């Protein structure tokens, strides 16, 4: 079931009094089936002008093996949840999300809905990126389409919009918010509590 998005009323630029997200209860976690993936496009995160590999071309690793070789991927470890990563040959930025799902940003507008700068992005090898794809839900990346951070009035709870899980997801604690490096200045105030999908943790 798709949840209806609530319109944003005002942008808040300060950390919330008494802690950004301190509530101890939230929507019950569920696992609805993800929706179909949206069309992908690269995020311009650097002035280097790095281009994406040609469609259908497997990046090559040392030793002549494709970078997506199971042997190479098994030897690599994906960074922890909350990490923002890219490769030197591709400008697209990925976020290692809850459950090790690999999200990506379609463009800078989506990226800057959650972050205030490109600081903190890690450049990883293709084998590490392949390991992240391998441990993700379906071996591919999910776009954070139309993502946003909101805080309903009268509550300390903060939610993130996740299209593929059907709508708003409650960020369960301040430490989770910090782990993902989200910018408090990007939180938008709204008038009501949205219908929510599984928690973001």
Q: In total, how many domains does the chain have? A: 1
pLDDT digit string (tens) for 155-172?
999 999 999 888 999 999
Quick check: is 176 in a domain?
Answer: no
Write down the pLDDT at residue 134.
93
pTM score of the predicted model: 0.65
Quick check: is 111 in a domain?
Answer: yes
Write down the pLDDT at residue 112.
98
Write down the pLDDT at residue 201.
92
Write down the pLDDT at residue 75.
54
Which residue range forms the structural domain that includes residue 136? 68-143
> 111-115: which pairs have CB atoms within 8 A and are 24 or more residues apart?
111/43, 111/45, 112/186, 113/147, 113/148, 113/149, 113/186, 114/144, 114/147, 114/149, 114/160, 114/180, 114/182, 114/183, 114/186, 115/84, 115/181, 115/182, 115/183, 115/186
Quick check: is 39 in a domain?
Answer: no
Quick check: is 45 in a domain?
Answer: no
Low-confidence ranges of the chain (pLDDT < 70): 1-75
Write down the pLDDT at residue 149.
98
């Amino acid at each position: 079931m798709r949840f209806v998005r609530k319109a944003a009323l005002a942008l808040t630029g300060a950390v919330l009094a008494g802690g950004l997200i301190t509530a101890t209860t939230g929507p019950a976690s569920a696992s609805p089936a993800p929706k179909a993936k949206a069309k992908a496009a690269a995020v311009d995160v650097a002035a280097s002008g790095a281009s994406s590999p040609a469609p259908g071309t497997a990046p090559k690793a040392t030793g002549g093996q494709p970078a997506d070789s199971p042997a190479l991927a098994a030897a690599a470890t994906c960074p922890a949840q909350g990490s923002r990563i890219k490769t030197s040959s591709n400008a697209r930025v990925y976020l290692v999300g809850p459950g090790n799902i690999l999200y990506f940003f379609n463009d800078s507008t989506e990226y800057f809905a959650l972050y205030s700068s490109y600081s903190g992005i890690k450049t990883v090898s293709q084998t590490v990126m392949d390991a992240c794809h391998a441990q993700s839900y379906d071996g591919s990346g999910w776009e954070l389409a139309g993502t946003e951070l909101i805080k309903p009035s009268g509550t300390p709870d903060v939610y993130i919009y996740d299209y593929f899980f059907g709508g708003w997801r409650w960020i369960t604690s301040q430490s989770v918010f910090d782990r993902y490096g989200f910018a408090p200045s990007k939180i938008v105030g709204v008038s009501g509590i949205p219908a929510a999908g599984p928690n973001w943790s």
